[in-house]
Amino acid sequence: MGPEAYATYAAAWLDAGASVIGGCCEVGPDHIQVLNSLIDQRGHRRLKWTDIESL
């Protein structure tokens, strides 16, 4: 899946209330760059690892 397609899915996850989005083997720097742009455009706050608590 290319970066733009990944961003389309990520947008849907954000709309559904996701606060943590990640990837696996096929998600690389280009995907993360597009994801960062999406997060900035939507005005979301980037979480730091220290902001995330285990359930």
What digits encode the pLDDT tens for the residues 16-32? 998 888 888 899 999 99
Q: Where residue 38 falls among pLDDT bands split at 50, 70, 90?
A: very high
**Residue 14 binned pLDDT confidence (cut-offs 50, 70, 90):** very high
Of the pLDDT bands very low, low, confident and very high (cuts 50, 70, 90), residue 43 is confident
Per-position DSSP letters for the chain, written without gaps between them:
--HHHHHHHHHHHHHTT-S-----TT--HHHHHHHHHHHHHHTPPPPPGGG----
